Amino acid sequence: MDKYQIIKGPLRTEKSVADGERANSYHFEVDIKANKVQIRNAIEGLFNVEVNGVRTLVRKGKARRVKFIMGKTQDWKKAIVSLKEGQAIDFGY
């Protein structure tokens, strides 16, 4: 898998922004098939930083209804990447 296919994009929520300031870690939405080693290599290749650790979790999709038909949104994977001391990623916001 290509590093551009593994990392879908950063997550910008109150929790992720506070976590970035406090613990020097960043949240990303990643491909559901990617493992921690692939995520680490993709982050290091894209942003030229040194990764200290990667934590992942799979968020289950929610049940949704459209008129009379019940459906479900897709499951997605979230990666919390902590960087080594002195490293930072600038997203421009």
Per-residue pLDDT of 47-56, as tens digits, reads 999 999 999 9
User: Which residue, 22, 21, 39, is CA-closest to 30?
Assistant: 39
> Do 59 and 77 contact (CB within 8 A), yes or no?
yes
Residue 89 belongs to a domain: no
Question: Per the domain annotation, does 25 fall within a domain?
Answer: yes
> What's the whole-number mean pLDDT along residues 32-61?
96
pTM for this entry: 0.89
Quote the number of domains for the chain: 1
Whether residue 93 is predicted with pLDDT greater than 70 in this model: the reply is: no
Are 30 and 9 in contact, with CB atoms under 8 Å apart?
no
CA distance 68 to 48: 49
Q: Which domain holds residue 54?
A: 3-83
